[in-house]
Structure 1
């Protein structure tokens, strides 16, 4: 505070003008301080980021922002100068503007702190760029060493190419010999193929003969079986199948052969054994026993579904035939459940026809 200001205060006069001058002096000091800070920031940024174009560009942007702030402050200072005359005429307006200047000073202090933070961030970025530059130099050194090694490998590779070309020439010669051998082999294959075709034709003829023989034995087997079992409505021949109704062999829901069923199967076994003695050993035949049920569901302690029941009945017949002397390797058991009906209706007669045991005399 100046001596004149102090005297006026001591004299009890109006201190508005000296207060305004003090505020203006404080503002100018802050501006000078900010300019000093900006000058120092530019100095440190110029020293830290020399030679780094990308970082320097960002710092220039920051300096430009600071310059804009300085221009704003200069503009505010000019506004203050213009308002100096008006403040002399209107004391209340001067006091209000003094308060506004105080707020602006607070804003400038905040801007100063922001500038300091940006300066610290810029210094950190400069340190990071220095580390990146060191890493790039190290990579350059490593790349140079790798390049020297690649040059050595290239010389070795040229020698290897020469060796491979010599090997390729030898392989081409060997390939020519192999092609000649392949042509001779193809000629032999054509001759062998003709032989195979002839053998296949002979085999088909022989198989047809065996099938005809087996069909003859099947007809004889079914004929004798019909004579032994007699004319019954619950036993019939359909095509290549000999069909027994399940009621003739098993009780309802059971897979155990009853007395009548064992009697019928014993006659089947005796007839099969007689026919077996006449069948040549080179005919590989089997008697397949198929179990079938109707579509009504079943669920008992022994069988959870019709499939299990049909399979169990077929196995029961096969096991009885084995006990009667039929070779087990000539028997096959299969269960089909309700999935291959011969009658599609829901009547009692249709359901009865679907519950059956079928026997097929066929080749393996």
Structure 2
């Protein structure tokens, strides 16, 4: 029992200091933890206050950005509305161009028809003028015939006078014949008297016979003269009748020619009026055509401005895409690739790097082609240039001209065959060494002159 009590006291005396040490250590740990907690809380409070200030600043920035974004959205909406309005205006202009083109074609057709009418009128006028000249010539001939007829009339009058004189002479001859017949009757009576007195008066009978012979001879002469005068009178009557018939025919021809001349003058005046009307119509058509040409020129100017805008946009985008790349630069309205970027020396085959460069440009061109209005007839001209060094030991190309042409064609074929670019929008040209951009024979100048140029232009 004593041993057990002694052991219990010993255990109690050994446990209490340990308990005190444990409690002391626990208190120290708690104080350390509380200290750390206080420090952490202080740090967190400072951090949270800092973050709150930063969050406030960020909220203010977000508010400013939201305001700027709303302004940008408003600007974008305004730009979209402007773009829609511009597209509507472009559509209206396109329709106006189509309408003006149709009107111009119809005016040209009307002008051609008017020209054909004028040609027909001129042919008719020429025919009428030639007919008028022929009529005038015929009238001149008829006038000459009339002059001849007047001369014939004068001759006829002279013949009439001669006929009258011959008639008077015939009457005188008839009177003389009657007197001769009277004498013959008297001679017959005397003959009968002489016959009864023949035996007695032979000498008187001989005288009567001589007188009778003389009277018979005179009568025969007068009879022959009367027959000749009668034949002449009949011939003159026939000539007078023929001349009167010719005169009537000539007068009819003259009247018909005068009528045709008057009708031709009326037709010429009518054709002159029609020609003046046609000329006035042609002048009006020319005026309308000039107005249409002016409108077309204005439309061409608008198209040129639009193409210039697309060209500027194209070169701007291309400059951004290829910025900082060696051997590529923009010179004026052309995009210039150094030949070393696209081809090996003396070769017209595109390198892999050159294909990549051309592919980037072609992608941009395809995007731009979808935005260009269809009425603008544009092309991409690919120009090949070399330096002035002659080709040595090259059996493929005879000179730099062929090399530049082959390189331009290589670019065009790659764009059409491999990249699907429309071939009707491409053109290839080779200029050899004849269009340098840098003068001189240094290596740098020759390197700049070896190039491929792309140019967006109208056809």
TM-score interval, smaller chain: 0.5 to 0.7
> 2:312 is matched with which residue?
219
> 2:331 is matched with which residue?
238
Distance 2:319 2:356 in 1: 14
The one-character-per-residue Cα deviations of 1:192-220 (angstroms, maximum 9, x if unpaired) are 22212221221122111111111111111
Taking a change above 3 Å as real, the CA distance of residues 358 and 163 of structure 1, as seen in their structure-2 partners, is farther
Q: Are the counterparts in 2 of residues 291 and 336 from structure 1 also a CA contact under 8 Å? A: yes
> 1:162 is matched with which residue?
138
> 2:415 is matched with which residue?
321
Aligned residues: 207
Taking a change above 3 Å as real, the CA distance of residues 222 and 160 of structure 1, as seen in their structure-2 partners, is closer
> 1:341 is matched with which residue?
436
> Helix, strand or coil for the counterpart of 2:436?
coil
Query: Over the residues paired in the alignment, what is the CA RMSD in angstroms?
Result: 2.5
Q: 1:190 aligns with which of 262, 276, 283?
A: 283
> 2:345 is matched with which residue?
252
Unaligned runs of 5+ in 1: 1-157
Distance 2:264 2:356 in 1: 78
Taking a change above 3 Å as real, the CA distance of residues 312 and 175 of structure 1, as seen in their structure-2 partners, is farther
Distance 1:316 1:278 in 2: 27
> 1:311 is matched with which residue?
405
Q: Are the counterparts in 2 of residues 269 and 325 from structure 1 also a CA contact under 8 Å? A: no
Shift of the alpha carbon at 1:238? 1.2
> Helix, strand or coil for the counterpart of 2:284?
helix
5 Å-filtered alignment, 1:1-364, equals 162=138, 169=261, 174-298=267-391, 300-322=394-416, 323-364=418-459
Shift of the alpha carbon at 1:183? 0.9
Taking a change above 3 Å as real, the CA distance of residues 159 and 241 of structure 1, as seen in their structure-2 partners, is closer
Q: Are the counterparts in 2 of residues 298 and 305 from structure 1 also a CA contact under 8 Å? A: yes
Shift of the alpha carbon at 1:163? 8.7
> 1:16 is matched with which residue?
none
Distance 1:304 1:190 in 2: 58
The one-character-per-residue Cα deviations of 1:311-331 (angstroms, maximum 9, x if unpaired) are 000000001111201100000
Taking a change above 3 Å as real, the CA distance of residues 159 and 189 of structure 1, as seen in their structure-2 partners, is closer
Distance 1:210 1:173 in 2: 54
Distance 1:159 1:182 in 2: 23
Which structure: larger Rg? 2
Q: Are the counterparts in 2 of residues 298 and 304 from structure 1 also a CA contact under 8 Å? A: yes
Shift of the alpha carbon at 1:177? 3.2
Taking a change above 3 Å as real, the CA distance of residues 275 and 174 of structure 1, as seen in their structure-2 partners, is same
Distance 2:140 2:338 in 1: 80
Comparing both structures, which one devotes a greater share of its residues to helix?
Answer: 2
Distance 1:234 1:192 in 2: 56
Taking a change above 3 Å as real, the CA distance of residues 160 and 174 of structure 1, as seen in their structure-2 partners, is closer
Distance 1:184 1:358 in 2: 56
Q: Are the counterparts in 2 of residues 314 and 357 from structure 1 also a CA contact under 8 Å? A: yes
> Helix, strand or coil for the counterpart of 1:219?
helix
> Helix, strand or coil for the counterpart of 1:333?
strand
